[in-house]
Amino acid sequence: MKGVYHVTCHECTFEGLYERRGVAADERGEHERDEGHRVSLLEIERPEPTTGSGPQTV
């Protein structure tokens, strides 16, 4: 899955992952308006799950 959006507040524990940018932006804006906090919205890449028994790192 690609195109995951991470919303996080820099002043409290508010945080979320969203698959739609519009929803993430709405949540960010609502928290900023309601709480007056600084909130970040970043697009992250979440790779597809892999199968098999490839090398593992510790």
Instruction: Report pTM.
Output: 0.72
pLDDT 10s digits, 24-46: 999 999 999 999 999 999 998 75
Asked whether the predicted pLDDT for residue 3 surpasses 50, the reply is yes
What is the CB neighbour count within 10 angstroms for residue 3? 12
Mean pLDDT for all residues in the chain:
83
Q: What pLDDT was estimated at residue 47?
A: 58
Q: What integer pLDDT is reported at residue 45 of this predicted model?
A: 77
* Gap between the Cα atoms of 43 and 50, Å rounded: 21
Query: Which of residues 56 and 32 earns the better pLDDT score?
Result: 32
